[in-house]
Structure 1
Amino acid sequence: MTTSRSSLPALLELQAVDSRLLTRLARAKELQTSEHVAALMARRTQAIAAARELDAAVGQAQDAVQQAEATVVEIQTRIDRDTERLNAGGTSKDLMGIQHQIETLTAQRERAEEAQLQAMDHAEEVAADRERKQPLLRAADAEARAAVAERDAELARLKEEHARLTAERDRRASAITDSPLLRRYDRLRNARGGGRIAVARYENGTCGACGTRLSPADAAALEATPDTAIPQCPECSAMLVL
């Protein structure tokens, strides 16, 4: 079956649309598998975990302060109660026992107050550490969110462009009445994993599809292709518009 070359210019325009579609798909895949975004998201996950650890450390330190304060209050309450008993009077032996108990409790209170001060100092250090680190953690979170938002916005634009180009491709393909030639074009384009250039211009002895500069003999044979046949690159098999 002979095929007319008259549809080649229309195929060339269709090829341009298909190439743009392929570019959009490749860019979308690149965005979806972006190592940069993945690294920022991993960093954000680490930052969130670190922030939670800092919050937990602050909470534990505050609990320790409250427990230390409660211990001091409890000991002071016992001292106050024993002091009241001491002031109420009693036998010499009882008063000596109460006094000894007050002295023991006073020593315990001093140790508890020291522990309270240490707990307060630790709580301040932990809180200050969180304050120092929070800006960096927030920055990591914000940077990741911005990168994801930028990626998603571009993906949305690519989706719109893909839909528009798909509609344009359908219109151009339906306008080509030479069905065998169109099927031949699609076979060439989808061969070897797809994405090939199936039709291109032949200029200055060079194939516009693969960039091969033909030898004088190959160029002469190509240029002598009968009008009833489609010129084809001897290297990549692309159909050529002379």
Structure 2
Amino acid sequence: MTSPRSALPALLELQSVDSRLLTVMARAKELQTSERVASLMARRTQAIAAARALETAQQEAERAVAEAEREVTRIQDRIDKDTERLNHGGSAKDLMGIQHEIDTLTAQRGRAEDAQLQAMDHAEEVTADRDRKLPLLRAADAEARAAVAERDVELSRLKEEHARLTAERSTRVSEFTDPALLSRYDGLRTARGGGRIAVARFENGTCGACGTRLSPADAAALTNTPPQTVPQCPECSALLLV
């Protein structure tokens, strides 16, 4: 009768595949929940909003300059028309009225020109602020994009690795010759939340699964386990290749 121990080397290879699968899945989860990427994406969102606010502020400042220029032009056009009327002559009363209107418009033009200068100064300040901040905001955007791209490349690689390992596991399971031992292995591997090392080597008095160094008596008991019985670690219950 074939001893179940003869299947342990193949089971050890399966454990290696399962361990690599766990590592791949853990790394993928770590990448998907990366605090660094989340932080950079939050900064990118803020940077985009800030950049839009700067663009809006500049557009509003430019509109204010244009409106101020139009107001100066409008007043000047009225002054020019009144001046032409004044030059054509008329009654003393009419000329005095026209001159009064010109004086009033001239005062209005002065105030409009002051407002125009203020609008131009504000526009220059807004443009300078935009030019100073935009490179920093673009850098934040670029850094976030690069981090996401790097993460996605690694996730793609991990996905391929996961598919390859899953296929390899299926092949090894289909070729395994001891279903009962395989069932014991899977039970140990998935116990207590899963991820346990269910089979390992016993070398130099130490369990390769949990790292426990056994007493001489326990080590001797493992070594003297009957041939038809698969040795198990007294501490973690892993199947041991002695």
TM-score relative to the length of structure 2: 0.97
* Partner SS, residue 75 of structure 1: helix
Deviation of the 1:220 alpha carbon: 1.9
Question: Partner letter of residue 150 of structure 1?
Answer: E
User: Could you say which residue in structure 2 is the equivalent of 1:187?
Assistant: 187
User: Could you say which residue in structure 1 is the equivalent of 2:25?
Assistant: 25
The separation in 2 between residues aligned to 1:99 and 1:218, in whole angstroms, is 119
* Partner SS, residue 236 of structure 1: coil
Cα RMSD (Å): 1.1
The separation in 2 between residues aligned to 1:150 and 1:160, in whole angstroms, is 16
* CA displacement, residues 136-185 of structure 1 (integer Å, 9 cap, x when unaligned): 11111111111101100000000111111111111111111100000110
The separation in 1 between residues aligned to 2:234 and 2:80, in whole angstroms, is 106
The separation in 1 between residues aligned to 2:230 and 2:4, in whole angstroms, is 8
* CA displacement, residues 189-228 of structure 1 (integer Å, 9 cap, x when unaligned): 0111111000000011111000011122222222221111
For structure 1, the residue ranges without an aligned partner over 5 or more in a row are: none
Question: Partner letter of residue 185 of structure 1?
Answer: Y
Deviation of the 1:77 alpha carbon: 1.1
Question: Partner letter of residue 197 of structure 2?
Answer: I
Matched-pair contact (CA < 8 Å) for 1:3–1:181: no
User: Could you say which residue in structure 2 is the equivalent of 1:174?
Assistant: 174
User: Could you say which residue in structure 1 is the equivalent of 2:101?
Assistant: 101
The separation in 2 between residues aligned to 1:146 and 1:207, in whole angstroms, is 44
Matched-pair contact (CA < 8 Å) for 1:200–1:208: yes
Matched-pair contact (CA < 8 Å) for 1:201–1:241: yes
Moved over 3 A (4+): none
Deviation of the 1:134 alpha carbon: 1.1
User: Could you say which residue in structure 2 is the equivalent of 1:131?
Assistant: 131
The separation in 2 between residues aligned to 1:212 and 1:82, in whole angstroms, is 105
Matched, 1:223 2:196: no
Deviation of the 1:110 alpha carbon: 0.8
Question: Partner letter of residue 112 of structure 2?
Answer: A
The separation in 1 between residues aligned to 2:222 and 2:241, in whole angstroms, is 11
User: Could you say which residue in structure 1 is the equivalent of 2:160?
Assistant: 160
Question: Partner letter of residue 73 of structure 2?
Answer: V
Deviation of the 1:231 alpha carbon: 0.4
* Partner SS, residue 201 of structure 2: strand
* Partner SS, residue 201 of structure 1: strand
* Partner SS, residue 240 of structure 1: strand
User: Could you say which residue in structure 2 is the equivalent of 1:211?
Assistant: 211
* CA displacement, residues 60-96 of structure 1 (integer Å, 9 cap, x when unaligned): 0001001101110111111111111111111111111
* Partner SS, residue 226 of structure 2: coil
The separation in 1 between residues aligned to 2:187 and 2:235, in whole angstroms, is 16
* Partner SS, residue 217 of structure 2: helix
The separation in 2 between residues aligned to 1:147 and 1:219, in whole angstroms, is 50
Matched-pair contact (CA < 8 Å) for 1:188–1:198: yes
Deviation of the 1:3 alpha carbon: 5.8
Report % sequence identity: 77
Deviation of the 1:56 alpha carbon: 0.3
The separation in 1 between residues aligned to 2:233 and 2:200, in whole angstroms, is 9
User: Could you say which residue in structure 2 is the equivalent of 1:66?
Assistant: 66
* CA displacement, residues 35-76 of structure 1 (integer Å, 9 cap, x when unaligned): 011111111101100000000000000010011011101111
The separation in 2 between residues aligned to 1:232 and 1:150, in whole angstroms, is 43
The separation in 2 between residues aligned to 1:236 and 1:3, in whole angstroms, is 22
The separation in 1 between residues aligned to 2:224 and 2:60, in whole angstroms, is 87
Question: Partner letter of residue 115 of structure 2?
Answer: A
* Partner SS, residue 240 of structure 2: strand
